[in-house]
Amino acid sequence: MKQGELKLDGIDKMILNRLMVDARTPILSIAREIGISGAAIHQRLRKLEASGLISGSKFVINPKVLGFKTLAFVGIFLDSSSKYREAIKRMQDIDEVIESHYTTGNYAIFVKILCRDNEHLMQVLNHQIQNIKGVARTETFISLDQQIDRQIKI
């Protein structure tokens, strides 16, 4: 199935919207709400998983509870685009790097980093990321507050 071909009906959308709010919502509760059987919901979810629309479910951890209070975005300049794969491979070993993107524009790589505080961030930048072979320099943006956190609307 090509991307963009999947057609969702109203029932699919109701199921997905309910589970996107809380993935632990009991299927039977959704079934009663929508007016179809739990088995029908399971069948629809299997179809949506097989299509690639649903790629899993996960618990969302609040990093602040664990003491991770500094969120930063780092633009990484490489001295050569051929260093991309090796740089990403090395960044996968840095636990504080929680997202990475290969981008157009000024940066070759844009990463999202979670640290305990600014000092911890400085250690990650100076002793880990900037020591990766091929990293020419970095530009860091510290997030002061997150106002929007959502998935695409269905």
User: What stretches in the chain show pLDDT beneath 70?
Assistant: 1-4
Q: Would you tell me how many other CB atoms lie within 10 Å of the CB of residue 17? A: 13
CA distances from 7 to 19, 27, 48, 53 (A): 18, 22, 10, 11
* pLDDT computed for residue 2 by the predictor: 53
pLDDT number for residue 8: 94
- Would you state the pLDDT for residue 3? 52
CA distances from 103 to 40, 84, 96, 145 (A): 41, 11, 20, 23
Q: Share the mean pLDDT of the chain.
A: 94
Which domains are seen in the chain, by residue range? 10-51 (1.10.10.10), 63-143 (3.30.70.920)
pTM for this entry: 0.84
Query: pLDDT digit string (tens) for 26-60?
Result: 999 999 999 999 999 999 999 999 999 999 888 88
